Amino acid sequence: MKKRRVYYRIFLSFTLALAVFFAGMEWITVRQQETLKQEVSAKAISKSMLIPGGMPIGIYMETDGVIVLGTEKIKGMDGQNHEPSKHLLKAGDYITGMNGSEIKTKKELIKEVEQMDGKEVILKIRRDGEALNVKTEAVESSPGKYQLGIWVRDSAQGLGTVTFLTGDSHFGALGHGIHDTATNTLLEISDGKLYETSIQNIQKGKKGSPGGIEGVIVYNNYHILGRIDKNTDAGIYGTVDNIDKLFQELTPIPAAPKEEIQEGDATIRCAVEGEVKDYKIRITKIDCNPKELNKGIVLEVTDERLLELTGGIIQGMSGSPIIQNGKLVGAVTHVFVQDASKGYGIFIENMLNNV
Active site residues: 176, 303, 318
- In 3D space, the residue among 198, 227, 232, 196 whose CA is nearest the CA of residue 213 turns out to be 198
Dihedral through CA 333, CA 337, CA 340, CA 346, nearest 10?
-20
Residue type, 324: Q
d(CA 273, CA 37): 43
What is the dihedral sign for C-alpha 79, 85, 86, 91? negative
- In 3D space, the residue among 241, 234, 320, 237 whose CA is nearest the CA of residue 273 turns out to be 320
d(CA 28, CA 296): 34
Contact between residue 224 and residue 194 where contact means Cβ atoms under 8 Å apart: yes
How many CA within 13 A on the CB side of residue 116?
25
How many CA within 13 A on the CB side of residue 165?
25
Contact between residue 235 and residue 163 where contact means Cβ atoms under 8 Å apart: yes
* Burial annotation 243-267 (CB, 10 A radius, 16+ → b, else e): beebbeebebbbbbbbeebeeeebe
DSSP 187: P
d(CA 232, CA 36): 28
d(CA 84, CA 76): 11
Contact between residue 250 and residue 5 where contact means Cβ atoms under 8 Å apart: yes
SS3 298: strand
